[in-house]
Amino acid sequence: RAKAAGKGGLDFFTPDLGREAQERLSLEQRLRDAVSAGEFCCALQRKVDIRSGATTGFEALARWVDAEGVMRMPGQFLPLASRLQLLDDIALQVVDDLTRNLPQLDAMFGTAIKYSINVSPAQAIDTDFMRRLTQRLPSGQAQRFIVELTEESLADTGLLEAHVLPMLRQAGVHVSIDDFGTGYSSLSKLASLTVDELKIDRSLVQTIQQLPRNQLILRAIESLGTALGLSIVAEGIETEQERDFLLANTAITMGQGFLFHKPQLIATLVGETPSMPSPAPDRLEWA
């Protein structure tokens, strides 16, 4: 198109590129400032028994709420944060928000509730980071926490089994494999790991009714997971039909999804602030 526009094409595109680069620079600076200012916090989404809807746990999800009260989602800042090596600081801010509010949450939901924490693939194999994270959990309560590693973290299962998983087991922290069935799936890798839970990705959950093939894949994952003694959780259940289909066609009893609960900031959940901050406008989808 630039060529077709002739000489003017360049004039048209050059300032644009300049602005884009400038915008990125200022976004980098904003992200760094946000980390320094401690603007990252924790939203929670319920994990439920899909038969009754009873809450069995919560998953901690990172949110960036800036000074103006604008909230940004992980997809809007995690990739850049990862490139800028800010993920560890962000993760610790999220965990601190969770543990600071734990007494209040326990008063509301009881102490049988477990809390899941997400870590990036790089963090998953970083024994020092994982130890720091574990040490941040309230003493004597590590067994109430589950660390979610994504399937991508399983590239080096030997490393995980040699260092990180024994450390977590020793501390009493549980381990879950998140987003399973998204494409990097390896059933043999799963079989070689000592973990506690398997979360089946919503892309699989949301297509089982339309794609019989995905139903077979889900059944295979379920039967291996069950044989390995893992808890199986279905992610991204949005409709009653999806829930009913799972109940009728699988033995899965644990799930998460908008049908049951949309993630809420902890501050909102414990009644500290009356409502959610406004979502960021689309143009800030710069990750």
Residue 257, interface with ligand C2E (CB under 6 A)? yes
Per-residue contact string for residues 218-247; x = within reach of ligand C2E by CB under 6 A: -----------------xxxx---------
Which of residues 257 and 277 has its CB atom nearest to Mg ion in the complex? 257
Whole-number Cα distances in Å, 260 to 58, 206, 219, 238: 12, 15, 23, 8
CA distance 178 to 198: 6
DSSP bridge partners of 177: 149, 198
**Tokens at 178, concatenated:** 């998140």
Instruction: List the one residue from 101, 118, 153, 231 that touches ligand C2E (CB under 6 A).
Output: 118
Residue 148, interface with Mg ion (CB under 5 A)? yes
Answer with the entry of Mg ion, ligand C2E, none that 222 interacts with (C-beta below 5 to 8 A by kind): none
Of residues 131, 132, 184, the one with CA closest to residue 154: 184
Write down the least CB distance from residue 240 to ligand C2E, Å.
Answer: 12
Alpha-helical segments (H) within the chain: 7-37, 74-83, 87-109, 121-124, 127-135, 157-159, 165-171, 187-191, 202-205, 212-227, 240-249, 266-269
Q: How many CB atoms lie within 10 A of CB 181?
A: 21
Which of residues 48 and 165 has its CB atom nearest to ligand C2E in the complex? 48
Instruction: List the one residue from 31, 34, 73, 234 that touches ligand C2E (CB under 6 A).
Output: 73
Residue 56, interface with ligand C2E (CB under 6 A)? no
Instruction: List the one residue from 76, 101, 118, 206 that touches Mg ion (CB under 5 A).
Output: 118
Instruction: List the one residue from 101, 120, 176, 185 that touches ligand C2E (CB under 6 A).
Output: 120
Residue 208 contacts residue 215 (beta carbons within 8 Å) = yes
Write down the least CB distance from residue 199 to Mg ion, Å.
Answer: 5
Which of residues 45 and 56 has its CB atom nearest to ligand C2E in the complex? 45
Residue 205 contacts residue 199 (beta carbons within 8 Å) = no
Instruction: List the one residue from 48, 256, 266, 269 that touches ligand C2E (CB under 6 A).
Output: 256
What string of DSSP letters covers 5-53? TTHHHHHHHHHHHHHHHHHHHHHHHHHHHHHHHT-EEEEEEEEEETTT-
**For binding to Mg ion (CB under 5 A), which residues are involved?**
118, 148, 178-179, 201, 235
**For binding to ligand C2E (CB under 6 A), which residues are involved?**
45, 61-62, 73-75, 78, 91, 94, 118-120, 148, 178-179, 202, 235-238, 256-258, 263
